[in-house]
Chain A
């Protein structure tokens, strides 16, 4: 589990090409945010942050806002994805990407300033919140995409299964091959992989019935046309 988000978190990073040194810092922060968010130990993290400095309370509030904002963005994106609302998904993604790029540029140009003037934590906190939120949304979105893709990959039929379904369809009369090939292949996507072999064996053992039915219909149609 710990490896997965890390791999995912690097994806938006490479995609937006932020200066590596700054990125590592941001990435580290995002990872911490995600870890806090997932383990449900926000209160403990906030308390620890409060102890760290006199500004801990403010930072804790900012972190809380970041997490809430992130969760809302991810929730909105998930909801839009569920409803196939591509426009909203794209809008959220575009907004997030813009935020990352803009805030990333600002972060790069002001990096040294922050290093040497760390006491200006107010400004730093706001900027970091923007970056962290954006990075976290991108990371979460990428994580969700990877999870969705893995779910899909789990059901995606293998080449042998697809070839078998196509072969069965090719045994049918020529004018019906295309239709049944797509239909047989679509069925594989609706079954878990472990059921593919059994499904194909049963399908293959009965495809002659379909062939016979289709041929009979052709003959009847031809006889009807002749008369």
Chain B
């Protein structure tokens, strides 16, 4: 989820399709769709069909995703919060933070 949000936040106005987003985030196929579904349900992300004539183009339409205004602010806040909490996690569970147990 964090990786997807960071990738989307790298250019919040950009519209990306699932495969493109997965490749940009370095995630394997099929990973981004559940995440995008959750983000869309939370109104953090909006989606629309590519505006093409599928018959003329000879391929199906892509589904483009974009961070909503609310989503951009919320994602930034959530990631900042995670970054702030990270040191605390390191103290409580040093193994998770890369330290010795």
* Interface residues, chain A, with chain B CB atoms under 8 Å away: 152, 156, 179-180, 182-183, 185-187, 189-191, 198-200, 202-207, 209-210, 212-214, 217
Instruction: Determine the interface band of chain B, counting residues with CB < 8 A from chain A.
Output: 20 to 34
Of B17, B29, B38, which is within 8 A of A186 by CB? B17
**Which residues on B sit within 8 Å (CB–CB) of A190?**
17, 19-20, 62
Of B20, B29, B58, which is within 8 A of A203 by CB? B29
Q: Would you call B94 an interface residue if the criterion is a C-beta within 8 Å of the partner chain's C-beta atoms?
A: no
Minimum CB distance partner of B41 in chain A = A217
**Which residues on A sit within 8 Å (CB–CB) of B63?**
179, 182-183, 186
**Which residues on A sit within 8 Å (CB–CB) of B61?**
182, 186
* Interface residues, chain B, with chain A CB atoms under 8 Å away: 17-20, 28-31, 33-34, 37-38, 41, 49-50, 58-63
**Which residues on A sit within 8 Å (CB–CB) of B62?**
183, 186, 190
Q: A206-B29, A206-B34 known; 15 other A-B pairs, CB under 8 Å?
A: A152-B58, A156-B58, A182-B49, A182-B63, A183-B33, A186-B50, A186-B59, A187-B19, A190-B20, A191-B19, A202-B28, A206-B30, A210-B34, A214-B37, A217-B37
Minimum CB distance partner of B62 in chain A = A186
Would you give 8 A-B contacts (Cβ < 8 Å), ordered by A?
A180-B33, A183-B62, A186-B17, A187-B17, A187-B18, A187-B29, A205-B30, A206-B31
**Which residues on A sit within 8 Å (CB–CB) of B33?**
180, 183, 206, 209-210
**B42 CB to nearest chain A CB (Å):** 10
Task: Give the distance in Å from the alpha carbon of A156 to the alpha carbon of B58 in the complex.
Answer: 9
**Which residues on A sit within 8 Å (CB–CB) of B17?**
183, 186-187, 190
Q: Known contacts being A186-B61, A186-B63, A187-B19, is A213 close to B29, with CB within 8 Å? A: no
**Which residues on B sit within 8 Å (CB–CB) of A182?**
49, 60-61, 63
Task: Give the distance in Å from the alpha carbon of A199 to the alpha carbon of B28 in the complex.
Answer: 8
Task: Give the distance in Å from the alpha carbon of A185 to the alpha carbon of B54 in the complex.
Answer: 12
Task: Give the distance in Å from the alpha carbon of A190 to the alpha carbon of B57 in the complex.
Answer: 13
CB of B29 within 8 A of CB of A199, answer: yes
CB of B19 within 8 A of CB of A204, answer: no
**Which residues on B sit within 8 Å (CB–CB) of A214?**
37
CB of B60 within 8 A of CB of A210, answer: no
Of B20, B37, B49, which is within 8 A of A213 by CB? B37
**B66 CB to nearest chain A CB (Å):** 15
**Which residues on B sit within 8 Å (CB–CB) of A199?**
29
Task: Give the distance in Å from the alpha carbon of A191 to the alpha carbon of B23 in the complex.
Answer: 11
CB of A189 within 8 A of CB of B30, answer: no
**Which residues on B sit within 8 Å (CB–CB) of A205?**
30
> Which of A185, A209, A210 gathers the greatest number of chain B CB atoms within 10 Å?
A210
**Which residues on B sit within 8 Å (CB–CB) of A198?**
29
Task: Give the distance in Å from the alpha carbon of A203 to the alpha carbon of B29 in the complex.
Answer: 5
CB of A202 within 8 A of CB of B37, answer: no
**Which residues on B sit within 8 Å (CB–CB) of A186?**
17, 50, 59-63
Task: Give the distance in Å from the alpha carbon of A182 to the alpha carbon of B60 in the complex.
Answer: 6
**Which residues on A sit within 8 Å (CB–CB) of B49?**
182
Q: Known contacts being A189-B59, A189-B60, is A213 close to B38, with CB within 8 Å? A: yes
